Structure 1
Amino acid sequence: MESSPDDAGAADATRAFLGRADFQQAWRDALARVADQGCRELWFVDRDFSDWPLGDRATVDELTRWAMGHRRLVLLAAHYDAVQRQHPRWVSWRRQWSHVVQCRAADEADVEALPTMVLAPGVLALRVHDRVRFRGRLSFQRADGVRDRDDLDAFLQRSSESFPVTNLGL
């Protein structure tokens, strides 16, 4: 049987999730752990974040708790249309924490291969392996975080700044 984050004292703990509700609970558990343990960088990666609970009050509270200090949150997506429509609470939080948050758009050639993941180097790696059924795992193994960071670096090198905090028009 796999461990939950609550008993994840061992560096090799992992937890599988099956389905959207399990994914969202794993996401909440991951954010709570990151807020408790802290880490300098946090990465969210998805095509559009439409199935993520970004706009939940608990999410915003945990991100606020994590962001205190010298932190950096990077989002990588194909586009941010769904974020603007579905997660207004997070968009508002982002305005207040714009010095911490960076949003990047994946290169068009990478969109289909873009993973769905949360990465907190040295703390955890959450990865969805099947987007249709929302199957994946939350891992506290350093090796998983290193592998996911290597995968992510290739996408980031070809990405560009996106989703400005404010839109200035003339």
Structure 2
Amino acid sequence: MRWNEAEIEARLAAMAERVAAEYGEAPPALVGIQSGGAWVAEALNARLATAAPLGSLDVSFYRDDFDTRGLKRTVKPSDLPFDVDGAHLLLVDDVLMTGRTIRAAMNELFDYGRPASIRLAVLFDIGHRELPIRPDICGETLALPPHQRVELRGPAPLVAEVIEIPVKADE
């Protein structure tokens, strides 16, 4: 399964409509999770009638599987050019799977301050939850088997496809 630029655009437009319907003329600050979530946040922000403050997080050091996964080769600094204290935030990611990346992002956000609210927007929800986290705004919900994932490529154009994850021999 693949999504081309036009199909991703349709999902982003629908997500922007939801943001506008829920927040009106004063959109929340968008915080994209590196790297795919930051691409989605930027693309979503471009579709809002009123541009929102835009930031990004790299949650590499906040993950609970850091000791088993190790550090990504391309760790980028987080960038929140606005005050998190008292802010309404829309956390944005490309794919919601287990919820662990979102938990890591929320932990990092609280190191910056205490937001008034945090809501979640994702382009794809594939529903392999390990934590009680759900999106408030979602481009598309999929039911994928555990050996499949959605991979987003970007930043421009944004395209996505379902990929197979090799199963380890001991599993």
Question: After TM superposition, is the score higher than 0.5?
Answer: no
Of Structure 1 and Structure 2, which has the larger fraction of its residues in helix? 1
Structure with more contact order per residue of length (Cα contacts < 8 Å, sep ≥ 6) = 1
Name the TM-score, length of structure 1 as normaliser.
0.31
